[in-house]
Structure 1
Amino acid sequence: MAHDDGAVSYRFALRPLWILSHLFVLACIVGMFRAGFWQLDRLHQRQELNATVAARATEPPLTLDGAAALVDAVGVEGADFRTVEATGRYLSDEQVLVRNRSQNGSPGYWVLTPLADDASDHVVTVNRGWVPIELVERPDGAELYAPPDGPVTVAGYVRATEEREGLGVEDPPGDLDTLSRVDVDRYDQQVDAELDSYWIQLSLQAPEQAQRVPEAVPLPPPDDGPHLNYAGQWFIFGTLTAIVYPLLLRRRAHKPAERHGVPEQVRDETVGAAP
């Protein structure tokens, strides 16, 4: 009896391998849309950060006493990016580097140096800026980015301590020359003076560095970043996958060989030999 080649059957799609294919494609679609919504969430976070930085930049700068009082009242997050000014002396013997920090696409370190305030008993961690790896590896490199001797006046931004996230490295105990992040609590363990709970991201210093290093670490650019574009790409990929995969199933369902489980060449020969 001849087969009805005009009929369409999707029974092949119930085979175990095809079911695995359906589940895989479904997981990909869900993952793509989740990635898109995650990028939108990152966009909203970026917009909130930009608004916070812009609003706090217009407020008068804090002294270290004022910064400490604000942090005690609202927490470090509530004081993040407030401008602060201080005059004091760097404790150069307590200086450490923070690993794996890049600037303008070049790898390097951040330089952390405690500053003892002349007007109070506060000692605060100052991120004096970024230095390239090549400079740190030079025999005379430390001299080139050493802090000035004597009194200095610094201006910068209050920043919250950085905490370990996910699979991040945990710094071991002891006196270390480098840290994995600006963890003020960990840094405080190897500094003789008691550090304030936040750190300062330096923007200006007088007198300036003689060798123009370290380079000040810039604030995040006041834009939305690439998150909206990334979200759009993920949504497009997910939508296309949801459209194209059923079309592929439909095309396979219209193939006679797949429909009847008989190689198409054999079917043609059989049909040709029929009386």
Structure 2
Amino acid sequence: MPIRFRIRWIPLCATLAVAAIGIALGQWQTHRAEEKLAIQQRIEARSKEAPLQALPPDGEADAGEFRHVVLEGEFVPQWTVYLENRPHDGAVGFHVLTPFKIAGSQRAVMVARGWAPRDAADRAKVPRPAVPAGPVRIEGTLRRGAGHVLQLGQADAPRPGAILQNLDIAALSAASGLPLSSLVVELRAAPPGGDDGLVRDWPAPSLGIDRHRAYAVQWYALAAMALVFFLVTGLRRKGNDGQ
């Protein structure tokens, strides 16, 4: 029995729309995977470079991210702040950050000193890890910010000892009067003067390259299935369509 293909315009338009959406989203996911692969390669390359001995200018912050840095200066312990909702190994806690005034410079930088657990009995109680007094030398990794979590409600104004959801460096700089860099230093080890009890197992940047690639395959598959479905349902045996 002869077989012919019958075009139905409404299903055709619907199929083309679904296929176009699938292809567009697949390309977007592929592009995101390529971007994150480039970031991963940049992290690996910069981790092998010699440590910086000074902070890069704010206008060159992107070029400095993920570089190791060695700085000398003094902590400003009264402006320590605590970023909440930072779990570690399933335990709730804070990231403890303290400003660091750089020797021989007018600049300062926020130093992510490490993670500390939250008091289960008193959520308003913050840890008080010892801060080295006087000039010290620190080593760490430069990052663009201190990580971001979903902001619930209006952000609190920065103040000494504040518990914050996210770090607003510009607001903290204005409140403290410290000329803070837009970068943050993640300490690699405790500064000289003894262990402060903080955990410095910093999470790696969430790249998700394989996840983006998997999503891209799913969107491309959706586009392909829409076209196949249209072609299969458009085939009609001559004896079955009343002609």
What TM-score bracket applies, with the shorter chain setting the length? 0.7 to 0.9
Q: Tell me the equivalent position of 1:267.
A: none
- 1:80 maps to which of 53, 61, 65: 65
Q: Percent identity?
A: 22
Q: TM-score, normalised by structure 1?
A: 0.66
Q: Does 1:124 align with 2:114?
A: no
Report whether the alignment pairs 1:139 with 2:129.
no
Secondary structure of 1:235's match? Answer: helix
Partner Cα separation in structure 2 for residue 255 and residue 182 of structure 1: 71
Aligned counterparts of 1:35 and 1:101: Cα–Cα separation in 2: 32
Work out the CA distance in 1 between the residues paired with 2:120 and 2:87.
16
1:78-117 deviation per Cα after TM superposition (whole angstroms, max 9, x unaligned):
2211211124443232122334445567665433221223
Local SS of the residue matching 1:54: helix
- Select 1:71's aligned residue among 43, 57, 61: 57
**1:158-207 residue CA offsets vs partner (Å, 9 max, x unmatched):** 2224799xx97795473353444343212223223221232112222224
Conserved? CA contact 2:146–2:184, under 8 Å = no
Unaligned runs of 5+ in 1: 261-275
Distance 1:26 1:105 in 2: 46
**1:124 Cα deviation from its structure 2 partner:** 0.8
Q: Could you say which structure has the higher helix fraction? A: 1
How do residues 105-116 of structure 1 correspond to structure 2 at under 5 angstroms?
108-116=93-101
Amino acid at match of 2:80: Q
Choose which of 134, 139, 154 in structure 1 pairs with 2:138: 154
Aligned length: 236
Shift of 1:221: 7.7
Give 1:28 deviation, angstroms.
2.9
SS in 2 for 1:27: helix
Q: 2:51 is aligned with what amino acid? A: P
Deviates more, 1:182-191 or 1:35-44: 182-191
Contact 1:87 1:118 (8 Å CA) reproduced: yes
- The answer to whether the Cα contact below 8 Å between 1:131 and 1:215 also exists between their aligned partners in 2 is no
Provide closer, same or farther for how the CA distance between residues 234 and 89 of structure 1 changes in structure 2, counting only shifts above 3 A.
same
2:184 equivalent to 1:199: yes
Q: Identify the range of structure 1 (214-223 vs 82-91) with the bigger mean alpha-carbon deviation.
A: 214-223
Distance 1:136 1:114, change over 3 A: farther
Which residue pairs with 1:268 in the alignment?
none
Say whether the 8 Å CA contact 2:5–2:234 is kept in structure 1. Answer: no
**Aligned equivalents of 1:240, 1:182: Cα separation in 2:** 46
Structure 1 residue 125 displacement after superposition: 0.5
Cα displacement (A) at 1:220: 3.3
Aligned partners of 1:28 and 1:238 also within 8 Å: yes
Matched with 2:77 is 92
2:13 is the counterpart of 1:31: no
Whether the 8 Å CA contact 1:90–1:147 is kept in 2: the answer is no
Give the distance between the partners of 2:145 and 2:206, measured in 1 at CA.
20
Tell me how far apart the structure 2 counterparts of residues 105 and 28 of structure 1 sit (CA, whole Å). 41
1:20-46 per-position Cα deviation (integer Å, ceiling 9, x unaligned):
x65444333222222221222122212
CA-to-partner distance for each residue in 1:211-262, whole Å, 9 max, x for gaps? 3x343313338994433333223222321222123323447x8895xx56xx
User: Is 1:175 matched up with 2:158?
Assistant: yes
- Give the direction of change, closer, same or farther, for the CA distance of 1:173–1:255 in structure 2 (3 Å limit): farther
Asked whether the equivalents of residues 128 and 216 of structure 1 are also in contact (C-alpha less than 8 Å), the reply is no
Question: Would you say the 8 A contact 2:72–2:102 is kept in 1?
Answer: yes
Task: Supply the distance in 1 between the matched residues of 2:163 and 2:99 (Cα, whole angstroms).
Answer: 14
